[in-house]
Amino acid sequence: MTASIRRLPYGTCIAHLIETNGPGGAERMLASVATELQAAGIRNVLIAPAEGEGWLQRELAGTGVELESFRLERPISPASARRLTTILQRHRVTLAHSHEFTMAVYGSWAARQAGVAHLFTMHGGRYYAERLRRRIALRVAASLSGAVVAVSESLAQHLSRDLWLRASRIITIPNGVREAPATPSSLHRELALPDEAVLVVAVGNLYPVKGHRFLLEALGLLRSTLPHLHVAIAGRGELEGALRAGAAELGVADRFHLLGLRADVGNVLAGANVVVLPSLSEGVPLALLEAMLAARPIIATAVGEVPTVLDQGRAGILIPPGDATALADALRDLHADSRRARQLSVAALTRATEHYTLARMMERYVALYASVLDTLRARQGADPTLEPQEIVG
């Protein structure tokens, strides 16, 4: 990233805009980008909601990133856009980077008024496509932005079709995660597992889309054939009670562990014999990338960009979503074939190191920031009378 940082103009200030502040994938990615940029000497401002969990603000506290809170008025609020414009101007922001639909729209609006460059990243599902007015609003945001970023090729293709944009207007930058140091895990000791225990780990909040009930059902199916199999899930959410009740009904409550929200995901993954991603829908999940960099054998559902990340099954076992039997079979087969488990671990680590590290993601984003700012300066120099909307269009 050092070489790319030098391309950014002196005094560059980057604002990161997001509508949510919980420990989700978009928020974690934003926190990583802002922290890395700040450490490299670039000034950063987080613009995030005053309400909510406040995880993102806590994550960035002490990093040097400046924190700004806002409140959005619904449904469409010129006053909210004006307040965001004021924040951008007060911090002398030179580039605004928005995340997801709502802030892509408001961020491009405010950046236009402030006369600063703007780009936005779309992270996950196609919820924006549910209504025509959302697609139109996002297309307008794209026309006011120097770049549109998707975290996966499949999402980039959807954006192109949904927003009637040329494919060349959308840049794919896959998520990346920091390489964790190899240290012994405390998880087996924490859970008081017996020496013969085989631990399957999943990382993800306890929402229906994460598919954890199918992992629980797979554990039930293997109750007799793999009596030493344990499952631990790191995450929190609305299904905690239902999952605990389901484990009791299946007779596996003593082998089903809900860990809650964990700050030590690396420690959790290091304790896994196998990592499972049972999601029904995904983009490029950070938990999957972290498991790959932790060199764990992986079983994942073939949804979203997961098959691409896992090299079409060469770096992890792919199964159909929502199929507890297929998951149980994959766990049984992998348990019986330690050689294959080791091969998958090596393949996952190799692929993640080549394509999905935080350093690689940062190089791509910094190069894009520099390009967007270069284009803005060139247009300003070519015609200093250009209106802000013309500059960033």
DSSP H or E run through 364? helix 358-382
Closest CA to 312 of 296, 323, 300, 324: 300
- pLDDT score recorded for residue 392: 32
Evaluate whether 277 touches 285 at the Cβ level (below 8 Å). yes
Q: Where are the alpha helices (DSSP H) in 115-152?
A: 132-143
Distance in angstroms (rounded) separating the CA atoms of residues 250 and 267? 28
pTM, to two decimals = 0.87
Distance in angstroms (rounded) separating the CA atoms of residues 21 and 94? 23
Range 181-216 burial, b when 16+ CB lie within 10 A, else e: eeeebebbeeeebeeeebbbbbbbbbeeebbbbbbb
Average pLDDT per block of 10 residues along the chain, 393 residues long: 76 96 93 96 96 93 96 86 97 97 96 96 85 94 97 92 95 91 90 96 96 98 97 96 98 97 94 97 91 97 94 98 98 97 97 95 96 86 44 31
Q: What is the largest CA-CA distance in the chain?
A: 75
Closest CA to 48 of 83, 18, 77, 27: 18
Distance in angstroms (rounded) separating the CA atoms of residues 357 and 90? 34
- pLDDT score recorded for residue 232: 98
Total residue length of the chain: 393
CB neighbourhood size of 4 (10 A): 17
Q: Where in the chain is the domain with CATH 3.40.50.2000?
A: 2-176+357-392, 187-355
Within 8 A by CB and 6+ apart from 3, the residues are: none
Indicate the SS3 state at residue 56: helix
CATH 3.40.50.2000 fits 187-355, yes or no: yes
Query: Which one is the CATH code of 2-176+357-392: 3.30.420.40, 3.90.480.20, 3.40.50.2000, 3.30.43.10?
Result: 3.40.50.2000
- pLDDT score recorded for residue 387: 40
Within 8 A by CB and 6+ apart from 159, the residues are: 122, 148, 150, 165, 170
Handedness of CA 375, 377, 383, 387 (dihedral sign): positive
Distance in angstroms (rounded) separating the CA atoms of residues 178 and 306? 19
Q: How does DSSP classify residue 58?
A: H
Q: Which two tokens stand for residue 42?
A: 């670039």
- pLDDT score recorded for residue 393: 29
Within 8 A by CB and 6+ apart from 313, the residues are: 307
Closest CA to 217 of 290, 272, 276: 276
Closest CA to 293 of 262, 320, 316: 316
